Chains A and B, each alone.
Chain A
């Protein structure tokens, strides 16, 4: 059969009745002309000439505005789409200043090493053509020791990431004296990635950076770029704690794109089960790649990357030139392999790639034609960024979002106007989370002694310093606090996860030569590397023989089995302190501080393709505790009893309601679903609800099921921040309680299923047959007459 082009493929799909039925929206985003402006007078003629030679004869209007503001000494944040020439907005002012004052220094910060490498290539090109003596270097964990000294002294532009700034540069600022004494610009790209926990850390790194700059008498200008988020100015001002000018009108022309929202067909109306999102994804990928239309698929988990890659490799077996024609890509692959895949994509030797959001940011993989998103990426900004990977410069491109069976995905595809019209999410940070703040106060004290009356963060600095003095890490003398401990505090905390620990995966298949094949962060190790787990890597399956937490190693062997594993967690929450309380229709609504205990108790074996449950295994891993903040509401038994439901029905109803509430909370907060977690229990932490092998049980410990709740306290539903110390979501949820409950009720009530399904109260087999009915009764009661 002859190959078809993307536009022919699209025309065919639109004429297909079944495709049309499942596509809840097909939007055409037209190409648009740009709006342009001449170079400002002050731009160095040589610089202008080099740019003109590259075909940039005039600037986009937003570029002209941006460099004008920077020229005037203002801090800016630039919010324009992918491929709108953002890099020029910082390269022009920075290079200009270096040409005028050769001692000038600038720091470019990118969230990942890969992005930093990409940027280097671009700046190098410009400098080469300028024939100027301007030195730019990447400084990250891979920089060889012997190159470091030259970089510190000579680098005009140092390209690095916040982690390196935190642990490698600021604690050694005296070695960077030359840089800090001449630092005029700090460029912060992909600003929107600095949100939540990571953003809270990065805000503190900026506090430290500005403190060090002050010591060297500098006050650099910050030039920030961000993907489209709802509050770019506010976010930039929260991160940098400065006034920032917003530039958000793009003057760049835009290419045409077809954006499709796709809801897989219902395959069992009674159970309300839709076809798995993986099925249409697999078929579309197969068809597109088969027509040599280069396609990227994004999945929402590492596991799904591997599962989908395996499916595709199975389908293409025998038809493709080599094993890398379709491939996976995710964190955990070793850097060399990743560089190889990126190159393969640029050179079009790889026609299909399945990735996590690892490829979402601006890593250069060339222009792909089509993008399939398997599941809503969790945020609207991410969705647009992923869609932007297709068709950066080509004439036409395609993006398809395939909904999964959960309330958030269903809400998005069934409400296209919400998706297309709504400005995307808010970025939030809570830099004054005590644990985070404290870590950075320690690091800051290591860098320079604190002085009486200094400010750092919004908590009472003097009190925190006194606390650290009492703990023996600071020593106070003459109104100054000095670091007085042997260790290096920046090493104690990683900006990205709670723990700095990693578990390495060791392949022992060949008994003669053990080989490290991957690294997994500490938290994920509990759910993906427990004994008996199937760990998947480049669609090869490995059986975990032993997880050695003490040595931080997991020993695995290659296997070929027809199932994968999914860990079962239990969670228990205990209230420590309530910050605020309100009562509505006799329901007690609160938020405050809680202790969360989590434990992996076992795992399910799930068969490929059919997703059948083919067995269970037990896991014996230590439990993990954390203190965090939570929002919760308590339903008095008197009210619940009046609903005339059995106790088990009530439990099922609560579980269904909570399932939906969890998803809708994440959506309203515009946060990743994993940033918030849930639990049903009581405020004392005496008992809680967990799914058993067959149905839900109420229990007091992971091993002891108790079937009734007599004598138990009133049931309480918790939605908590999944980070120690909390990240500021809980208070927001507390304030928006009414809005939340209303949205939850509307999702459940309007779902077409009969007894409950993954799109409203959760999978029927997990929540029980009365969940939907009971949940609605409970919600009606909560909303009052």
Chain B
């Protein structure tokens, strides 16, 4: 019997298994597969009409996607290049409007001063499409999308390995492109794309240009600044809510690996048309997002142009980075915000900055405002109690304010209660000493 027959029987996918019933996991798997199949069938109807169907003849890649074969000494591959002109509109903006992000602002966002002296012309935007998300050596980045600014235009250049054998040539070409640039811009590239490419360089025994390059990863600041008002911090979510980009018939990310496997088996370019477009838009969105974020940093005092919640998150972010001066100015304008959450959210860190600067009057004013707005504001009340106890030494005032809160303890959790009670007892003891 052939190996294949023996295997088919062992794994139970031939008729030879007879009337045997599968175990529950197999049954569950089968059920799951059926459910997925049903889902896939249902989805087909809402996929745009140009999506490939099995019945249609295969469309050559060069017809489905604008591009051409590139021949290099290390092999050939397929490349698609597009230009967005300065006046082209992308989401809410023209390309010209996002062609000049402030590099000092980028330095603030990343915490790396070196970016201050770099030029956006030397930045390489990068995003990959891969055969899976699990990571590890068996995940293949088949499409590497690159982008950069030339004058006021934005160029995208996508390197595509038509099969596994073209990877070596793609990687060499990528290295050459990268050697002409100074830094990288990605969205989650630190954890994903660049790691993956490093793996591929090792597997292909070629030199890894990318690993050491300065790198602006937009994911982290975006998550910090926008996550409070978005369902998630994915690029697609950010671009539709913040950048005003609407994608028509976009291919969902989870479908992309299968599109490539289908292409490998059927050589039909229509499988990839949407994947190239998806990747191209991701790169342009990164460029637009970089500009949005750097503008936010640059113009952070101009409250009217931005969401106050975003500004508050940015101020907190900069405060954490140790940029006290800038965050102080931002908090001072944000306490005037008509949004109560933002105003309150700004008062607390601002009061701490004042406290550190020993600007007691300003700090007390903020704490009183907070306590007035919410009589259970334990942060403000504790700070006031500390102030009366240690600064003005008005123990009675401190006792009274803590007692007031403890009488309303229904709103407090256990840890707060314990710490307050402890403070209360200590204050009473101190007060009794003073009386003696």
Contact = CB atoms under 8 A, between A and B. Distances in A.
A638 interface: no
Interface stretch (B3-11, B117-125, B290-298, B315-323): B3-11
Contacts of A484: 131, 140, 164, 261, 264
Contact of B164 (A175, A449, A472): A449
Interface stretch (B23-31, B275-283, B392-400): B23-31
B147 interface: no
Given A446-B137, A485-B132, A625 B21 contact: yes
Interface in A604-632: 622-625, 627
B132 A486 contact: yes
Contact of B10 (A172, A434, A478, A486): A434
Contact of B3 (A459, A623, A624, A627): A459
Nearest to B205: A215
A576 B9 contact: yes
A435 interface: yes
A625 to B, nearest CB: 5
Given A434-B10, A460-B3, A724-B10, A171 B25 contact: no
Interface stretch (B12-20, B368-376, B403-411, B414-422): B12-20
B134 interface: yes
Interface string A482-499: 111111110000000001
Given A174-B202, A485-B132, A577-B1, A445 B9 contact: no
Contacts of A449: 164
B3 A434 contact: yes
Contact of A448 (B7, B20, B22, B203): B203
Nearest to A168: B136
Interface range for B = 35 or more
Interface string A654-665: 000000000000
Contacts of A175: 199
Contacts of B27: 622
A142 interface: no
A320 to B, nearest CB: 37
A259 B16 CA distance: 53
Contacts of B82: none
Contacts, number: 114
A488 B257 CA distance: 13
B135 A446 contact: no
Nearest to B16: A576
A179 to B, nearest CB: 13
Interface range for A = 35 or more
Given A484-B131, A489-B138, A622-B24, A477 B203 contact: no
B164 A477 contact: yes
Q: Is the interface of B mostly helix, strand, loop or mixed?
A: helix
B138 A447 contact: yes
B116 interface: no
A478 B164 CA distance: 9
Interface string A586-618: 000000010101000000000000000000000
B299 interface: no
20 contacts: A434-B10, A438-B7, A446-B138, A463-B2, A466-B4, A472-B261, A477-B164, A478-B165, A484-B140, A485-B131, A485-B261, A486-B258, A488-B134, A550-B24, A597-B21, A622-B21, A622-B24, A623-B23, A625-B22, A627-B12
6 tightest Cβ-Cβ pairs between the two chains A and B: A446-B138, A483-B138, A486-B132, A488-B134, A174-B199, A482-B164
Interface of A: 171-175, 177, 434-435, 438, 445-449, 459-460, 463-464, 466-467, 470, 472, 475, 477-478, 480, 482-489, 499, 501, 549-550, 574, 576-577, 593, 595, 597, 622-625, 627, 724-725
Given A172-B135, A486-B131, A625-B22, 12 more contacts: A177-B202, A463-B4, A475-B264, A477-B163, A486-B258, A488-B134, A501-B25, A597-B20, A622-B24, A624-B23, A625-B21, A627-B9
